[in-house]
Amino acid sequence: MLGLMQKKQLLISSILTHAAAHHGEQEIVSNTIEGGMHRYTYADAEKRIMQLANALVRLGVKLGDRVGTLAWNGYRHFEIYYATSGIGSICHTINPRLFPEQVAYIVNHAADQYIFIDLNLYPLVEALGAHLKTVKGVVVMTDKAHMPDTAKLSATIPVHCYETLIADEPETIAWPDFDENTASSLCYTSGTTGNPKGVLYSHRSTLLHAYATHMTDSSPLGAADCVLPVVPMFHVNAWGVPYSALMSGTKIVFPGIQMDGGSLTKMMNDEKVTCSLGVPTIWLGLLQHLRESGQRLETVKRFLIGGAACPLAIIEGFGKEYDISVVHGWGMTELSPVGTINAPKAGMEKMSADEKYRHQLKQGRALFGYEMKVIDDDGNALPHDGKSFGRLMSRGYWVVSEYFNDDENPDGILDDDNWFDTGDVATIDERGYMQITDRTKDVIKSGGEWIGSIDLENVALSHPAVAQAAVIGIPHPKWDERPLLIVVKKPGAEVTREDLLSFYDGKIAKWMVPDDVAFVDEIPLGATGKILKTKLREQFADYKLPTA
């Protein structure tokens, strides 16, 4: 027997309709590429989104067509999110920090029909024009007064001005109704081997993910909140913020390209931001700015940090010095992206402050709708004891089932029980809190034992002279591999190899302490702010440890 309830598809257009109807006065504020702040309301945004949707239909964009974006966090990018999915096409966000060859590969692999691009990124598309095989047109996200010289690209691909394109379109549209499993957006991940892999989200998975990240023990947003997503809109849909914020009527502040500590501080204080989300490298810079300037964040209550393991120095720094709660989360492109959030449970209130901060290093508990387990090399599930670590497996309502147009995995990417191997090594403790100890490819195998690089990096980052730290495995004739600590010092700070190695005393087992320290001017970071250990392994390929 079926329930006697109304059958309504879970569609992204319904989020916009709800937001405009019930929170039409709420603001969306953007730091623009052209300069200055742009602000309008949810109701204004709905009208412009409908204009854009009508323009896309006029250009011939159909159900299932991919529309690419090369853009930062701003109101026009936000409009593309809703206009594309609203008419049943697919919003394909592309990371502009990738190498041009990677951008061309991704655009061609996705078979993008149109590319929307921010003004300062126009030279990238202009240079790639001849290599974009499926693109029918490029739309520069600006007004007529700021349009660049498009003569060169226009010789091969039509170029449009965003504001001119939508200016004469109707401000209303009847959003089509279709199956909630229809694809809504496409993101490519660089976290796998080989070419980037496309992860194709559905309307259903996107709405369920937005609902789950709304819960009190996740990253809740309310109508009285103001959220500033530092996480880019090209990075897994800004972790779902453009959807979850509109569900609850939250004010949104888009920072554009101004990500330095001073700019973020000003925006957060001017706009009364209560919550912000981003990767650790951003928060390290903000923390350093606050300490050096003496400024404070007047209204911020919490940061959600993900994308890489969060150092204890960030958690303690914001918590002890600025009374800002740092919520550690974990996910990946294949998970839409959020899988776990580190929120406290009853009974943990008796922990000391230091115990709570250390516990926050864990990536957290599974949200409802997401399942996880850790297994050994034989596929056996490992106990939740906080000590047994193995491969982290995932499945759930918003977990990938296969990659888009995937020729590299003919047998699929799931096991017989639909579990997806994340490529992470992790433990799960008695309370259900998961902690990433390393990526499978980064774990250090020493004398038959595994050493997770993340713990070693966190210890180093808590040293007052260390700005950045990374640990990689170096070949060793006796132990197979031993850890090498690679460090960038803080400006003006002095610290020696011996100082850092002795700093590990009492913090980890002696056999895990790095064998050596290498000081460098910079550590290579990827397009999303993660440390590129592949580059470090290349850089130190011929390094000989003093213990070897």
Tell me, yes or no, if 189 is annotated catalytic.
Answer: yes
Q: State the average pLDDT over residues 162-174.
A: 98
Q: Would you call 510 a catalytic residue per the annotation?
A: no
Q: What's the CA gap between 226 and 219, in Å, rounded?
A: 13
CATH fold group of domain 444-539? GMP Synthetase; Chain A, domain 3 (3.30.300)
% of residues, the chain, pLDDT over 90: 84
Dmax (CA) for the chain in angstroms is: 73
Please compute the mean of the pLDDT values over residues 441-457 and round it to a whole number. 84
Is 13:82 a contact under the CB 8 Å cutoff?
yes
Give the angle subtended at the CA of 384 by the CAs of 380 and 389, to the nearest 5°.
60
Which residues face 396 on adjacent strands?
370
| pLDDT computed for residue 281 by the predictor | 83
Q: What is the pLDDT of residues 328-349, one digit of tens each?
A: 999 999 999 999 999 999 999 9
| Catalytic annotation, pick one of 46, 126, 271, 334 | 334
Assigned token pair, 283 = 């928060």
d(CA 380, CA 363): 22
pTM: 0.88
Rounded to the nearest integer, the mean pLDDT of the chain is 94
Residue 450 annotated to the active site: yes
- Averaged over 411-427, what is the pLDDT? 95
Phi, psi of 299 (to 5 degrees): -125, -10
Does residue 474 have a pLDDT over 70?
Answer: yes
Q: Exposed/middle/buried for 120, CB within 10 Å: 0-12, 13-18, 19+? A: middle
Catalytic residue among 266, 441, 445, 544: 445
Over residues 47-76, the pLDDT tens digits come to 999 999 999 999 999 999 999 999 999 999
Q: Tokens at residue 96, please?
A: 């502009």
Which residues fall within 8 angstroms of residue 168, CB to CB, at 6 or more apart?
none
356, 450, 534, 535: which is the annotated catalytic residue? 450
What whole-number distance in Å separates Cα of residue 403 and Cα of residue 440? 20
Tell me: pLDDT of 191 over 60. Answer: no
- All structural domains of the chain with their residue ranges: 12-26+40-202, 368-405+413-439, 444-539
Q: Is 279 left (phi over 0), alpha (psi -120 to 50) or beta?
A: beta
C-alpha span between 388 and 471 (Å, rounded): 21
Cα radius of gyration rounded to whole Å, the chain: 24
pLDDT at 419: 98
**Is 444-539 the same fold as 12-26+40-202?**
no
Distances (CA, A) of 353 to 275, 320, 358, 359: 22, 9, 9, 10
Say if residue 197's pLDDT is above 80: yes
Residues 183, 171: Cα–Cα separation, whole Å: 25
Other Cβ atoms closer than 10 A to 119: 17
Q: Taking residues 471-494, report their average pLDDT.
A: 93
Q: Which helix (H) or strand (E) holds 159?
A: strand 159-161
Residue with tokens 């095989």: 133
**pLDDT for position 193:** 55
Average pLDDT on 126-141 reads 96
* Structure-block tokens of residue 49: 């989104």
Please tell me the distance from the alpha carbon of residue 236 to that of residue 232, in angstroms, as a whole number: 8
Superfamily of domain covering 368-405+413-439:
Luciferase; Domain 3 (2.30.38.10)
Side-chain half-sphere exposure of 503, counting CA atoms within 13 A:
22
Please indicate whether residue 547 is annotated as part of the active site.
no
Q: What is the mean pLDDT of residues 339-366?
A: 94
Q: With beta carbons less than 8 A apart as the criterion, state whether 486 and 495 touch.
A: no
Q: Which of 189, 192, 299, 534 is catalytic?
A: 189
Closest CA to 254 of 72, 28, 30, 26: 30
Task: Decide if 19 contacts 245 (C-beta within 8 A).
Answer: no
Mean predicted confidence (pLDDT) in 372-380: 95
Decide if domain 12-26+40-202 falls under CATH 3.30.360.10: no
Looking at the predicted structure, is the pLDDT value of residue 215 above 80?
A: yes
